Amino acid sequence: MIAGEAQQWMANNEGHAMARVIRRNLGKSRDGAARLVELTNAHEPGLDSVAE
């Protein structure tokens, strides 16, 4: 899976919840074959984004 713009995934827009679900589902993949790539630009420090 590719997660784009992770610097904009924050708690107030359900980004943290989405990241948790994705990571939990990665663990369910057969033989651990699933991977996650997070594509991001520079995050703004202090906003608590997934990229941070």
pLDDT band at 49 (very low <50, low <70, confident <90, very high): very high
pTM of the model: 0.80
Q: What is the pLDDT of residues 13-44, one digit of tens each?
A: 999 999 999 999 998 988 888 999 999 999 88
Mean per-residue pLDDT for 42-51?
91
> What pLDDT score was predicted for residue 30?
87
Counting Cβ atoms within 10 Å, is residue 17 exposed (0-12), middle (13-18) or buried (19+)?
Answer: exposed
How many C-beta neighbours within 10 Å does residue 24 have? Answer: 9
> What pLDDT score was predicted for residue 23?
92
